[in-house]
Structure 1
Amino acid sequence: MVFIAVLLVLYLAFKRRVTIYLLDISCYQPPKYYRLPISMYLEHISLDNQFDPDSVEFQAKILEKSGFSEETSIPPPLSCIPLRKSLSSVKEEAMTIMFSAITELIKKTNTHPKTIDILIVNCSLVSPTPSLTAMIINKFKMRSNIMSFNLSGMGCSAGVISVGMAKDLLKTHRNSVALIVSSELLNQNWYTGKNPSMLVTNCLFRMGGAAILMSSRNQDKGKAKYVLQHLIRTTKAQDDKSYNCVYEDIDSKNKPGLSISKGILNVAGDALKANIASLGPLVLPFSEQFRYTLSTILRKISQTDKSYTPDFKRAFQQFCIHAGGRAVIQEMEKRLRLGAEDVEASKMTLYRYGNTSSSSIWYELCYIEAKGRMKRGDKVWQIAFGSGFKCNSAVWKCIQDVGYEKTNAWIDEIHKYPVAIPDLVKIN
């Protein structure tokens, strides 16, 4: 009787376990004529009467230190003189990015749109009516009973938030398929005022987006690339400094913009510390956990700020740190004691595509795949930061070797990378 009871408990435990698979990813590749060379951008804003000489000079200074190549892209209306901002333009931008990424993804995974059970779209600054999810459902003629969700205002970390939402829904609704679309739309939010903290966004954000297909169907194990192992979300919104760090507002001339505080690196560091305190025990070997715990105890006794940073390279083989900016990547490299190759995907994503907000971690994952570095058994740590302030982590395990894929957004120029980018000199 006891033996039967044990078997029953084991059976029920196994039955309740649901594995979440990542089938594939598709990142939007802007056409070459969407490129925005830095010299062209500076020329355009110099000729545009909306920007005064001081604003132009400030943006030139930021772009000089940005770590951008001449390949980053923006929507065509923002390249006009004067630039054009309109609802029709932002909708066209949304359709261009999202439809392209989704079309490629369903083609490479041989997925019919009507077999998709869950649709999640995240875009922080644009929330039209009908919604972006409705736009996708209409375009691809998805089912009338599809579960659709539109996330806005969640910042650059919304990609991991979408994964967490998909995970919970896929566990509740077993044997289902979820499509995530992560993007940020630039047209309506391009700042044309004189506030330096708002002008920074024009120099950081660029056009991009990604579509991700996840599943909880057992039959998808054979064709899935990754299995989701952990997802940790941390918010510091209860702290006023963190809450106001990245803030949408209007300037003194009633022009809307997104303000980025100079203290963002310290805020991101605090959020990261809280996030890894929760993630560490789940992924680190015992020896690293012991050192970290001992360090924490000694720090409290001695009342110092110094603490031991665990060696996360003992837990992960691949790293995808949000390409929020050159200084952000450099700071994370320092704080996590990572090597040049560990942050290569992040630096090269920023270099070629710029900050594409929530989709940047997916461009980075595609970079690692295109370089042929992703092997079966590798664990990947995706770290994303966003307004609020938030730090979110997703941990994936690769379950098959990832070979050459002609649809990878990097494959046309992967032979050119990595390129040398000098260390950032602090801007005063």
Structure 2
Amino acid sequence: MARQSDFPPRWVAKALKTLFACAHYAAAAAAGYAAYVAAARLRGLHSAGQLLPPLVAAFEARHTLAGGHLAAAAAAAAALWALAALLWRRRAKQPIYLLDFECYRPEQECMVSYNKFVTGSRNAGFFDDAAMDFQTRILHKSGLSEETFFPPGLHLEPPEFDMNRARQEAEIVMFNSVADVLRKTGLTPRQIDVLAAIVLTNKRSERRRSKYELQHVVRVHMGADDAACVFQRPDHANCIGVELSKDLVSVAGRAMEINMTRLGPLVLPWPEKLMFAANWVARHVLRLRVPKYIPDFREAFDHFCLHAGGYGNTSSSTVWYSFGFVESVQGVRRGDIVWQIGFGSGFKCNSVVWRALQPIKAMHRVGGRSFKEPFL
């Protein structure tokens, strides 16, 4: 329920949405009725012999075309239609389709419980008691489950962080994901131009079997703000680590706000746009002391795939695991709009909007287990 201080009230947006829907149907009905009246009027004028001579001649010529004349007219019409279609396709935006994607689940031996993580961190010798207390508090508030995974190198004592272990981790994730997505789509490696576990194509011939069509991409990069930077450098003990600014959370909020501000005009329905405009005029022109209107993005999207970066230092790949969960558990209807929003160091905030081309109820299985079972 909207607060009394909200301007305009939330119920106005719902009323505008209903009004726009009624206006749409009314306009369609009026256009149909006008066409019917015009056709009836022309028929009456023709019957009374009152049509203008050129119109009469054209009307009668329609009945006299025969043989070669009719064939020539049909050929000319077909040629014009083909030319118009070709020009439209050349001017139209090149489509991007999502055929399918794959989510990777590590082997069971890579699973890490809370106790194993704390014990491993303490035995690594890198952290003092204060740092361990901080890690333990964050761990229990992070939302990470007892079935979170670590790469093989971090299971060793002491853990190994060298390039070979990093390469091993990358190969395990990428090779398995790519192999699975190629199997799902029936593609061969020779058909792939750019390697990823997300199969995209701009071929219109693939639209029929694609799951989604890309609608919008909005990118925001806050690298010009020093507070937004993430640094890798040695600490006072000469240990290489990643340094995050204390202002990073506020920078992330600003990046998300900028991203949503740019995305809103592209996706929000007109009632929400009008509500935002009315609020802006009230605050900046009329100088009224009313709170800023926050558009309801639920009116624009059917499914939300959010970056789970707020729950531990997880990567932006979580937006694809969220997508897999949506397809497996919730299901997607034809025409549904899906919003993915992710974050990255730099600081970056990116949005991708997809439209479903077909109903989807695909059970993603990661590591032999479905998404209806614990998978994080």
TM-score (normalizing by structure 2): 0.73
Separation (CA, whole Å) in 2 of partners of 1:251 and 1:66: 25
Q: Which residue of 1 aligns with 2:89?
A: 14
Q: Which residue of 2 aligns with 1:239?
A: 225
Post-superposition offset of 1:227: 0.4
Correspondent of 1:278 among 250, 262, 267? 262
Q: Which residue of 2 aligns with 1:412?
A: 369
Correspondent of 2:307 among 322, 327, 339? 322
Q: Which residue of 2 aligns with 1:95?
A: 171
Q: Which residue of 2 aligns with 1:251?
A: 235
Post-superposition offset of 1:361: 0.8
Structure 1 pair 289/7, CA: closer, same or farther in 2 (3 Å)?
farther
Q: Which residue of 2 aligns with 1:193?
A: none
Q: Could you tell me whether the CA contact under 8 Å between 2:328 and 2:372 is conserved in 1?
A: no
Post-superposition offset of 1:262: 3.4
Post-superposition offset of 1:303: 8.6
**Partner of 2:366: helix, strand, or coil?**
coil
Kindly provide the amino acid, as one letter, of the partner of residue 87 in structure 2. L
Post-superposition offset of 1:319: 0.4
Task: Return 5+ residue gaps in structure 2 as ranges.
Answer: 1-76
Post-superposition offset of 1:254: 2.3
Post-superposition offset of 1:256: 2.0
Q: Which residue of 2 aligns with 1:390?
A: 348
Kindly provide the amino acid, as one letter, of the partner of residue 372 in structure 2. H
CA deviation map 1:13-36 (0-9, x unaligned): 323432210000011111111011
Structure 1 pair 411/377, CA: closer, same or farther in 2 (3 Å)?
farther
2:191 is aligned with 1:115: yes
Residue identity (%): 36
RMSD of Structure 2 on Structure 1 (CA) = 2.6
Q: How does 1:24-43 map to 2 (within 5 A)?
A: 24-43=100-119
Post-superposition offset of 1:234: 1.4
Q: Could you tell me whether the CA contact under 8 Å between 2:324 and 2:371 is conserved in 1?
A: no
Q: Does 311-320 or 269-278 show the bigger shift? A: 269-278
CA deviation map 1:336-362 (0-9, x unaligned): xxxxxxxxxxxxxxxxxx654131111
Separation (CA, whole Å) in 2 of partners of 1:317 and 1:411: 28
**Partner of 1:28: helix, strand, or coil?**
coil
| Structure having the larger proportion of residues in helix | 2
Separation (CA, whole Å) in 2 of partners of 1:401 and 1:321: 22
Kindly provide the amino acid, as one letter, of the partner of residue 274 in structure 1. I
Structure 1 pair 50/13, CA: closer, same or farther in 2 (3 Å)?
same
Separation (CA, whole Å) in 1 of partners of 2:290 and 2:128: 44
2:133 is aligned with 1:57: yes
Q: How does 1:264-275 map to 2 (within 5 A)?
A: 264-275=248-259
Post-superposition offset of 1:271: 1.1
Kindly provide the amino acid, as one letter, of the partner of residue 309 in structure 2. G
Post-superposition offset of 1:239: 2.4
Q: How does 1:182-193 map to 2 (within 5 A)?
A: none
Q: Could you tell me whether the CA contact under 8 Å between 1:378 and 1:398 is conserved in 2?
A: yes
**Partner of 1:377: helix, strand, or coil?**
coil
TM-score (normalizing by structure 1): 0.64
